[in-house]
Amino acid sequence: MAEEEAIAGADTIDMTPFRGPLPAELRLKKTRSVSLIVAFLVFVLDQAVKWVVAYPLQLEFRRSIEIVDFFNFTFVKNEGVSLGLLTASSEVGRWLLVALTAGIAIFVALWLWREKRRDDSTALAFVLGGALGNIVDRVRLGYVLDYADLHFGEWRPFLVFNIGDAAITIGVLLLLVRALLMRDGRAKKKEA
């Protein structure tokens, strides 16, 4: 009788939740999925805010809107890349910048796909989402729409930027901090 119950029980499925660590392949798929969602959300948020600034707020015609004492929306056509470098003053220059930034975005996407660490994948997702938002602007408008103007009196710690620029900067800083911490961690292990 006990033997029959054991055989009958062998066909049932254990419905208790899996409590152990996820297998490496599942962890990697989950990390990739979350990172791609983060990149997509950064891209959508960047484009949505640019749309609001450009159309309902008509910032191009108003030039500047004070939000608080230290932050304005200020319309800037950024025809270059970060910090106004590599300014594209012609159609050929514009498309060369599109190609350059698209190449960088492809490199970041491939790196993100191969990356196994969740924190690095998230940082790369910020970079990718921001880069894609700026590439779409450059293709669609011929320039990147910048609008966020942080200032303290006349002092501006940053050039006028957008959400895509901020996401790229945050992503790169996270990668740099992690690389520095990892390097220091290796050095401490070698000393011990």
Residues that are catalytic: 146, 165
* 167 in Cβ contact with 126 (< 8 Å): yes
Residues 134 and 148: their CA atoms lie apart, in Å, by 14
Cβ atoms of 38 and 129 within 8 Å: the answer is: yes
> What contacts 184, CB < 8 A, 6 or more positions away?
none
Q: Which residues contact 88 (CB under 8 A, 6 or more apart)?
A: 79, 80, 94, 96, 97
**Tokens 């791609």 belong to which residue?**
36
Residue by residue, DSSP assigns 93-116 as HHHHHHHHHHHHHHHHHHHHHH--
